[in-house]
């Protein structure tokens, strides 16, 4: 049986949840990955009755739910600098007076509550971001004193281990989408993160290849190196140039979609990510969870793109073989 194909609603939060359900069903999706912004899943309102209503709504459109996501709030737990950027993505009750430590504490409490909501929804996975105390030191100038990065990872662990302990008690896992600006953004930093967390059993990854390709990080190797920590998968494509461009890997303070950029996200099948090899690697590690389309393409109509992406994923996915192809050549 092929894996379910779902649509992450984060880029569709401007639409009411029922309209989103209706569209996703029309696009051909098997289910949704609900974001926790807009009205798709409101954590501050989510008691059991609210969760049951959401489940009933999805059932009405014959859509399944496998995970929910807390990218925006999660980002604010560990970011070293809390500023106007965070105010723009947070609910007012978490931003409060904007005092950075207060924002971090309220964000941490909200992430824990999101795990409780996931449990009420009958789920075992929350995807999201973590933020990072060390991302601002990505480029080593001014020179970084010995031990400064290690202290940053220790600070991250102090912030997240209590959250993950609560996740463990609830019976829910947190899946970080390794991504620039997060504590883990490539293979090496993902290992550092796991080490800092003492390989906490509630922590793993929401694998998304689009964030690795333009960094020249081996996204297929990531699957194998963290085989037991791939809790969820995002299907998202990106294009990067074969020749030098006017704007490099860091984006040059340009907007997504600018054709001078070295890279941009693209609709599935229209970029450079090798999804054939990703499916083979997921088969090798025994991943049977959903393939969730995170649709982002500044140059394409999103409804046409989402429908096309759904079919692309269904076409590229396949089951592993249960027999060696050359068995039939051998005598019994």
Q: What is the pLDDT of residue 325?
A: 65
Q: What is the pLDDT of residue 321?
A: 82
Q: What is the mean pLDDT of the chain?
A: 96
β-strand pairing of 263-266 with 237-240: antiparallel
Give me the phi and psi of 223, to 5 degrees please.
-60, -45
pLDDT above 70 for 317: yes
The DSSP-derived string for 242-264 is: SS--SB-TT-TTPPTT-TTBSEE
Contact present, 161 and 208 (Cβ < 8 Å): no
| Global pTM value | 0.96
Burial of 289 (C-beta count, 10 Å sphere; 0-12/13-18/19+): middle
Tokens of 273: 């990510």
Quick: pLDDT tens for 6-35: 999 999 999 999 999 999 999 999 999 999
Q: What is the pLDDT of residue 274?
A: 98
H or E element at residue 35: strand 31-35
Rg of the chain over Cα atoms, rounded to whole angstroms, equals 20
Contact present, 167 and 201 (Cβ < 8 Å): no
Domains recognised in the chain with CATH numbers: 5-329 (3.20.20.150)
Q: What is the pLDDT of residue 328?
A: 61
End-to-end CA, the chain: 29
Give the pLDDT band of residue 332 (cuts 50, 70, 90): low
Give the pLDDT band of residue 327 (cuts 50, 70, 90): low
The size of the chain, in residues, is 332
Give the pLDDT band of residue 2 (cuts 50, 70, 90): confident
pLDDT above 60 for 205: yes
């Amino acid at each position: 049986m092929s894996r379910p194909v779902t649509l992450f609603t984060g880029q569709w939060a401007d639409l009411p949840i029922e309209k989103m359900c209706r569209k996703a069903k029309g696009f051909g999706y098997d289910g949704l990955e609900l974001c926790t912004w807009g009205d798709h899943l409101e954590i501050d309102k989510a008691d059991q009755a609210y969760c049951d209503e959401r489940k009933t709504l999805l059932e009405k459109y014959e859509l399944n739910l496998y995970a929910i996501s807390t990218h925006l709030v999660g980002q604010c737990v560990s970011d070293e600098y809390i500023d106007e950027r965070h105010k723009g993505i947070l609910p007012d009750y978490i931003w409060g007076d904007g005092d950075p430590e207060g924002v971090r504490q309220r964000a941490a409490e909200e992430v824990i509550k999101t795990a409780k909501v996931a449990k009420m929804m009958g789920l075992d996975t929350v995807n999201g971001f973590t933020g990072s105390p060390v991302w601002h030191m990505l480029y080593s100038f001014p020179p970084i004193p010995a031990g400064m990065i290690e202290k940053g990872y220790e600070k991250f662990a102090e912030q997240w281990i209590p959250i993950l302990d609560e996740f463990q008690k609830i019976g829910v896992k947190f899946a970080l989408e390794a991504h620039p600006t997060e504590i883990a953004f490539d293979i090496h930093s993902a290992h550092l993160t796991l080490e800092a967390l003492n390989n906490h059993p509630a922590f793993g990854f929401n694998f998304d290849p689009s964030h690795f390709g333009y960094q020249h990080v081996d996204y297929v190797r990531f699957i194998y190196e963290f085989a037991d920590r791939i809790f969820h998968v995002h299907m998202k494509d990106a294009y990067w140039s074969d020749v030098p461009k006017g704007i490099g890997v860091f984006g040059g303070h340009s907007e997504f979609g600018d054709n001078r950029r070295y890279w941009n996200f693209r609709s599935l099948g229209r970029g450079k990510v090798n999804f054939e090899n990703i499916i083979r690697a997921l088969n090798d590690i025994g991943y049977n969870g959903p393939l969730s389309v995170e649709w982002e393409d500044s140059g394409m109509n999103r409804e046409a793109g989402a429908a096309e992406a759904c079919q692309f994923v269904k076409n590229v996915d396949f089951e592993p073989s249960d027999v060696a192809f050359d068995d039939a050549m051998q005598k019994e």
